[in-house]
Copies of this chain bind each other. A is one copy, B any other.
Amino acid sequence: MTSSNSATALAHPNIAFIKYWGNRDESLHIPSSSSISMNLADIFTQTQVILDLDLVCDELTLNGAPASQSSQQRVQNFLDQFRKLSGKKEYCRIFSTNNFPTSAGIASSASGFAALTLAAAKVYQLDINPLELSRIARLGSGSASRSIPGGFVQWVAGYDHQSSFAESFAPPDHWNLVDCIAVIGDDEKKVSSLEGHRLANSSPLQSARLESANSRIETCHTAILKKDFATLSDVVELDTNLMVAIMITSRPALFYWQPASLAVVFQVLLWRQNGLPVFYTLDAGASVHVICPQPYSREISSTLRTIPGVIQVIHSGVGGPAHIIEENI
């Protein structure tokens, strides 16, 4: 090895409260509307990047195994920007691991690209501020921009590379919410969220959804700052259902919900009827994120585990920003 430059970064996945679904600019991942999310403390991706003069291309190892050709290529294209910015030509070995099961239906692209962005910036010795890190992470995967800052985060849609970035508006300890992720299996090969974003504009409802998106952003933002759980429940479930509405009216229609997902949703609605502070949200997958204040999370999780079709329940509080955990430059 002719270079021992290496850095390891850790980043958390995030769960969106106001959704990103559809792009204004597909290649730059400029979204059609702003989004709000919460980082998930207890789950993370850890990524080591090692600069290596002997390599002729980047080499990506995911959870201990060589990544697919398409993932290798996506990462190499992504790292090209760091080489361009730094003027260095070296390729990298990248070792990336998730502490959550890949089959759990938790998108690892957000935490993955956020961790990779931090580690790569370090080994290529680029001094980049957090907003710019968020912009760069966005180019790897849109929602990765939201995994750069910590706590409760807003990704301002913007209209070009410079104006589209994510920022924290409340730290992790602002509100002790817990995400109880009801992990639900998915037999069929699903449409990737990348392809889903592309299909969003084929729904006759997408423009109506976007027209009202800013008001939901404001409502959600204020509800989080005020810790107004009832208003947050209301706006997050509406925004989730609006995304599902777009999915099922795209051409072709996208069904990420499984029968068990609906069973979990009904359980949440029943709980709330009975006065429990809890709401649901979903991403482009079958798993249901069940959000509640921390004191309720144990009771909720143990009931979720009894619902047929729920494989496991993963718990997580509010996570901090992506950060470097080891470096050797």
Contact = CB atoms under 8 A, between A and B. Distances in A.
Counted per complex, copies of this chain come to: 2
Nearest to A207: B208
Given A244-B248, A259-B263, 8 more contacts: A204-B211, A205-B208, A205-B245, A238-B253, A241-B249, A244-B245, A245-B245, A245-B248
21 contacts: A204-B209, A204-B211, A204-B242, A205-B205, A205-B209, A205-B245, A207-B208, A237-B253, A241-B248, A241-B249, A241-B253, A242-B249, A245-B249, A255-B265, A255-B269, A258-B262, A259-B259, A259-B260, A259-B263, A259-B266, A262-B262
Given A258-B262, A259-B262, A260-B259, A249 B253 contact: no
A266 B253 CA distance: 12
A245 B246 CA distance: 8
B255 A266 contact: yes
A175 interface: no
Interface in A208-231: 208-209, 211-212
Interface of A: 204-205, 207-209, 211-212, 237-238, 241-242, 244-246, 248-249, 251, 253, 255, 257-260, 262-263, 265-266, 269
A26 B207 CA distance: 27
Contacts of A212: 204
A187 to B, nearest CB: 9
A253 B266 CA distance: 12
Contacts of A211: 204
Q: Which of A242, A249, A260 has the most chain B CB within a 10 Å cutoff?
A: A249
A257 B262 contact: yes
B263 A251 contact: no
The 9 closest A-B pairs by CB, nearest first: A245-B245, A259-B259, A208-B208, A241-B248, A204-B212, A205-B205, A259-B262, A259-B263, A205-B208
